[in-house]
Amino acid sequence: MIIETYTLPAYWAVALINDDTTGFEYEDEKPFQEFCAYMLSEHGNNWPLDCSEETQFMTYHDARRFGVLACDVLDFTFDVTPRGLTQ
Q: How many structural domains compose the chain? A: 1
Any domain includes 85 = no
Any domain includes 73 = yes
- pLDDT of amino acid 26: 86
The parent domain of residue 21 ranges over 3-51+60-79
CA distance readout (Å), 7 to 48, 50, 83: 12, 12, 24
Any domain includes 86 = no
Return the closest-CA partner of residue 11 out of 59, 40, 51.
51
First to last CA, the chain: 7
Any domain includes 84 = no
Any domain includes 47 = yes
Any domain includes 9 = yes
Asked if residue 87 has pLDDT above 70, the reply is no
Global pTM value: 0.88
**pLDDT tens-digit readout, 57-73:** 999 999 999 999 999 99
**Residue 46 or 4, more confident:** 4
- Rounded Cα distance between 86 and 15, Å, is 28
